[in-house]
Structure 1
Amino acid sequence: MANDFWILLAMVIYFAAMLSVGFVYSKRSNSSSTEYFAGGRGVGPWLTALSAEASDMSGWLLMGLPGLAYFTGAADSMWTAIGLALGTYLNWKLVARRLRRYSVVAGDAITIPDFFAKRFHDEKGVISTIAAVIILVFFSVYVGSCFVTVGKLFATLFGFDYHIMMIIGAVVVFVYTVVGGYLSVVMTDFIQGMLMFFALAVVFIGTVASAGGIDNTVEFLRSIPGYLSGTQVAAPKLDPATGQQLVEAGKVVFGAPSDYGIITIISMLAWGLGYFGMPQVLVRFLSIRSVEEVRKSQIIATSWCVISLGCAVCIGLVGRAMMPTELLTSTDAETIFIVLAQTLLPSFMCGVVVSGIFAASMSSSSSYLIIGASAMGENIFRGLLHKKATDRQVMIVARVTLVVMFLFGIVVAFDQNSSIFQVVSYAWAGLGASFGPLMLCSLYWRRANKAGAVAGMLSGTATVLIWHNLVKPLGGVFAIYELLPAFIISLLFIVVVSLLTAQPNERMLYEFDHYMDDPLPGTLPSGTVLVDEPMEAMEAEVRSGK
């Protein structure tokens, strides 16, 4: 009981700190919709990098990924981690700088749907409305996966009722998000990114030391068929009646490993494609203080990602050597990080470390909520329904949207047997395929047009839904992760439909041809003066309304 007190105390202190951040930033964030949704484009490189990664990884990093490694071995988790690390690097390399500049040239866009609409001069709001609906649907599912993490954490640590604790954690996230806006989310994400990194490092080092050293650990894991192979997946033998892994003579039972062919490897690497369409990461590129700071953020973010993913995979693998018979279902395996923290660390330190799981869930769910709210407030309400809406009206609509997403997330999370990894993979595919190809075409292909953008988003979303529910169950080559075929089909639709329809207008082509120039050229073909100063001067012009 005393141990539980110290763990709970550490977590309560953490909760209080996060709520305080929301209230501290509430005054500034409420000054305008640009401040509320994009932090006034004044976020520095460290905040940008760590908030992007913390909001990206969610509780999946500390529970889903280690659990996958624990239950089936290295292959699935390793190839997924490699794909995510590559995707992180390429997203910062190919998208960040260009999107930061183009978002200003394209009418000072402050959300991703807003950017797409202004990039393709969509005055009727068709693109932004479709994008906003896609975000609301998949982010509501995403929020649910974060609430599942919170519920599992408290249920595992204290034996509390899953549903009650899931709701309490969800309320904390909701309060600091609705009060503080984007800046509170960025600040808490920065703190939580550091805490997640610390938690992974501490548990990884403690697990390796307690398992008897690297040599003994590797020897034990090699005794499990296919467990450490990069081309095979270990196959836990399950009891048909209970669904639990069989234990005989004190040892867990594994069957013959299944082959892990090139198609499966490609499928796991395809996770990296999702980054090009992740609004919670892309919006960080919009809000960074200056284009020149993107390079520094890229180094910080990529380093954080590689080290954190590596630690998460290793925690799951070494955890199997240390506790081979404790967690006998894939759902229970997702609590290996918590169980190890309880076993290895003093109570207060355990509370600090497992707060890293809250950090992951809170940072992600708050980002999903604020982006969903911005999609509804800026892109549907002001962009489509009430074009002359004031900032105050937009923020009221946004906060109502937060309430709706919060309640929907709780409904999704009510099934405590939900797999965090599976829920996240579905939403990741939906967002990645809907927006990823369009983002790349928006930044790199001048011939892309409004019709192609609409076709790309709709085909990407539809392919994910159809492939996941109807095609993937067929097995074989069709068992590939739905993000890959959906990404390809979306890209094809953008290209084909754009080529079959009218080319972009003169102003759109001019913006595309010169958005990377510095200083920007001064006159559009129509004779309208754009600006003849460096990027910073142009931002000042846009901000002042000149």
Structure 2
Amino acid sequence: MFEKILMILIFFAITVGIGLYCRKRAANVNDFVLGGRSVGPWVTAFAYGTSYFSSVVFVGYAGQFGWNFGVSATWIGIGNALIGSLLAWVILGRRTRVMTKHLESATMPDFFGKRYDCAGLKTASSLIIFIFLVPYSASVYKGLSGLFSMAFGLDFRWCVIGIAVLTGVYVVAGGYMAAAINDLVQGIIMLGGIILVVVSILKGQGGFSEAFVRLSKVLSETAPEMEGALISFFGPDPLALLGVVVLTSLGTLGLPQMVHKFYTIKNEKSIKAGTVISTIFALIIAGGSYFMGAFGRLYYKVPEGGSPVFDNIVPEMLGACLPDILIGVVMILVLSASMSTLSSLVITSSSTFTLDFLNTLFIKNMNYKQQLTVIRGLCVFFVALSVILALNPNNLITTLMSLSWGVLAGSFLGPFAYGLFWKKATAAGAWACFAVGIGINLWNLFMPFAAPTGAGAISIVASLFVAPAVSLISPKPSAEKVEEMFSCYDKEVKAPHKLMLEQDRE
């Protein structure tokens, strides 16, 4: 117990110290929200990856989908790496950085407002972000609280509150740079931690081969070795597996807290390096997490006469096979992942609501100091809302996250992607996507027709078809304005050139 407490205290001290150190670099809104648009490839790539993967993946999704799909759940992690990371960086990285700089846009709602010449889009999207990032934040707190309860025997409510206070301190103090530097430190911890955990899980079942043999016989003890559904290539339910891959991989291309990372990157060279770093990071973290979750059935005992509590599978599995020192490592791993995600959510939500909603409609003409004060205040308010939602024990981690990702990505993927690439994309197409993203997921919440992950995946795919379909039949934007916006991709940059060698100057 002493080792675990010591490791947590050291981690807390480093985290808060980085936040206080970065306070002097967050003197204005541009620095607080964007880090001055001068963040290098390693910091940006790790910020992207650690914002992507949190306790939601490690505890909630790994537990539930490892249980449901077995080893084939690893496909989710592979999809996260190839689609959610590699494809996102290749398609969106450069164009996002160039056009948002050209439009002087600091947030996704501001981009919508300027790209589509529609102030209403800016206001509506800022509200959607603030409202629907709260469930995602709450799901992260729930994942963390389950592990803390397992490790320290504490009531999960006190765990949620303590972590919320810590997150609030370093984000409010240091802004984006504090979060990004912490992401780099925390990402390194995550890489080492997930490898140790996977090795320990397999070792606890007699090694790699023996663990697979035991898992193959879980559903049927008479099944031939290595032929069970839980170790098959696509698992027992390939269609449901595909829905999770779409939600958690393609959805990231439309999430404001993920796309925001491209706003901040330093230059073209950094984008290329960040693409490689981010993809490898995702493959190790996400692939390792879902692969680990596949063996939950070998450790977790379903309550007699009941059903598995998915949020408890990973905590119980780790508690059963890890010594205290490794549980401490796992706690640092999940804390690292989750606090990185939380910091990203808090900054994204509070900055968009301040700059794109309050400053537009209610508190107009705020100076930089006033904006910074309001953003910091909303950071605290957002954390408090998330904690209140997380304290409800009936809310499942996967349900909260699926609702959040489904609404946000379903609303924003189409308008954002087409807005960067297609000159004929219109405001009407964006409005239609907002209606589809919110409508499908709320309809499924109150009158279920699919699993939350399935509804989220449907809305994300629909966004890619709705945006162009409506744009083609709606009034076209001003050709002159659109050409001016897209001119940023055609600008030539002149480089200095020396006309003679040093020895020729004599």
Is 1:290 the counterpart of 2:267? The answer is yes
- Partner residue in 1 for 2:117: 121
Q: CA deviation at 1:13?
A: 1.2
Question: Contact conserved, 2:358 with 2:364, CA < 8 A, in 1?
Answer: yes
Counterpart AA for 1:128: K
Q: Following TM superposition, by how much is the alpha carbon of 1:506 offset from its aligned partner in structure 2, in angstroms? A: 3.3
The residue number in structure 1 matching 2:490 is 517
Equivalent of 1:110, from 106, 126, 129?
106
Asked if the contact 1:76–1:268 (Cα under 8 Å) also holds between the matched residues in 2, the reply is: no
CA distance in 2, matches of 1:484, 1:438: 17
Residue 269, structure 1, aligned to residue 245, structure 2: yes
- Aligned partner letter, 2:148: F
C-alpha distance in 1, partners of 2:329/2:115? 44
Q: 1:57 aligns with which of 50, 53, 60?
A: 53
After the TM superposition, which of the residue ranges 336-345 and 434-443 deviates more from structure 2? 336-345
Give the Cα separation in 1 of the matches to 2:457 and 2:65: 22
TM-score using structure 1 length: 0.83
Alpha-carbon distance in 1 for matches of 2:35, 2:308: 38
CA contact (8 A) 1:114 1:128 kept: yes
Residue in 2 aligned with 1:139? 133
Which residue matches 2:415? Answer: 438
**Aligned-partner Cα distance in 2 for 1:318–1:209:** 12
Aligned partner of 2:468 among 468, 490, 495: 495
Equivalent position amino acid for 2:124 in 1: I
| 1:415 Cα deviation after fit | 1.9
Aligned to 1:530: none
The 1:301–1:92 alpha-carbon spacing in structure 2 relative to 1, beyond 3 Å, is same
Larger deviation, residues 392-401 vs 67-76: 67-76
Partner of 1:180: 174
Query: Contact conserved, 1:14 with 1:355, CA < 8 A, in 2?
Result: yes
The answer to whether the 8 Å contact 1:275/1:281 transfers is yes
- In structure 2, the CA distance between the partners of 1:75 and 1:353, relative to structure 1 (3 Å rule), is closer
Partner of 2:224: none
Q: Distance in 1 between matches of 2:413 and 2:72?
A: 23
Structure 2 residue corresponding to 1:207, chosen from 195, 201, 214: 201
The answer on whether the counterparts of 1:23 and 1:180 sit within 8 Å (CA) in structure 2 is yes
Q: How far has the Cα of 1:448 moved from its partner? A: 0.9
Q: 1:499 to 1:412 in 2, by over 3 A?
A: same
CA separation in 2, counterparts of 1:205 and 1:171? Answer: 33
Contact 2:8 2:328 in 1 (8 A): yes
Residues 467, 340 of structure 1: alpha-carbon distance in 2 compared, 3 angstrom cutoff: closer
Hey, what does 2:290 align to over in structure 1? Answer: 313
- The code of the aligned residue for 1:422 comes to T
* Structure-2 separation of matches of 1:488 and 1:153: 34
- Determine which structure has the larger helix proportion and give its number: 2
Write the distance in 2 (CA, Å) between the matches of 1:318 and 1:369: 33
How far residue 267 of structure 1 moved from its aligned partner, in angstroms, is 1.7
The answer as to whether partners of 2:406 and 2:437 remain within 8 angstroms in 1 is no
In the alignment, structure 1 residue 94 sits paired with structure 2 residue 94: no
Distance 1:432 1:353 in 2: 30
Is the counterpart of residue 167 in structure 1 residue 161 in structure 2? yes
Give 2:392's aligned residue: 415
Asked if structure 1 preserves the Cα contact closer than 8 Å seen for 2:74 and 2:288, the reply is no
SS in 2 for 1:194: helix
Task: Indicate if the aligned counterparts of 1:65 and 1:77 stay in contact, CA closer than 8 A.
Answer: no
Are residues 371 and 330 of structure 1, via their aligned partners in 2, closer, same or farther at CA, if it must alter by over 3 Å? farther
Q: What CA RMSD, in Å, does the superposition of the two structures yield over aligned residues?
A: 2.4
Distance 1:275 1:334, change over 3 A: same
287 and 327 in structure 1: CA distance in 2 versus 1, 3 angstrom threshold = farther
Q: Give the Å deviation of 1:471.
A: 4.8
Alpha-carbon contact 1:68-1:77 (below 8 Å) kept: no
Matches of 1:443 and 1:348, distance apart in 2: 48
The one of 30, 43, 48 aligned to 1:34:
30
Aligned residue for 2:477, secondary structure, equals coil
Q: Which amino acid aligns with 1:147?
A: Y
Counterpart-to-counterpart distance in 1, 2:281 and 2:254: 20
For 1:331 and 1:504, locate their aligned partners in 2 and report how far apart those are by CA, in whole Å. Answer: 53
* C-alpha distance in 2 between matches for 1:12 and 1:66: 27
Structure 2 residue 433 is the aligned partner of structure 1 residue 456: yes
State the shift of 1:130 in Å: 0.9
Find the residue that maps to 1:212 and give its secondary structure. Answer: coil
Q: Distance in 2 between matches of 1:314 and 1:83?
A: 13
Q: Distance in 2 between matches of 1:437 and 1:172?
A: 35
Unaligned segments of structure 2, at least 5 residues: 220-228, 496-506
Aligned match of 2:382 in 401, 405, 408? 405
Matches of 1:269 and 1:28 in 2, distance apart?
A: 38
Structure 1 unpaired stretches of 5+: 234-259, 521-532, 535-546
8 Å CA contact 1:195–1:353 kept in 2: the answer is no
What amino acid sits opposite 1:388 in the alignment?
N
Distance 1:79 1:417, change over 3 A: farther
* 1:527 counterpart residue number: none
Q: How many angstroms apart in 2 are the aligned matches of 1:39 and 1:330?
A: 46
Post-superposition offset of 1:232: 4.4
2:223 aligns with none
Aligned residue among 20, 23, 40 for 1:23: 20
Alignment equivalent of 2:342, drawn from 365, 369, 384:
365
1:214-249 CA-partner distances (Å, limit 9, x unpaired): 22111111112322234443xxxxxxxxxxxxxxxx
Alpha carbons of structure 1 residues 494 and 165: separation in structure 2 relative to 1, 3 Å = same
The alpha carbon displacement at 1:345 in A equals 4.9
State the TM-score, normalized to the length of structure 2: 0.89
Q: Aligned equivalents of 2:453 and 2:9: distance in 1? A: 42
Task: Say if 2:8 is the partner of 1:11.
Answer: yes
Q: Aligned residues: percent identity?
A: 26
Structure 1 partner of 2:210: 216
Matched, 1:151 2:145: yes
- Measured after TM superposition, the shift of residue 47 of structure 1 is 0.4
Amino acid at match of 1:80: I
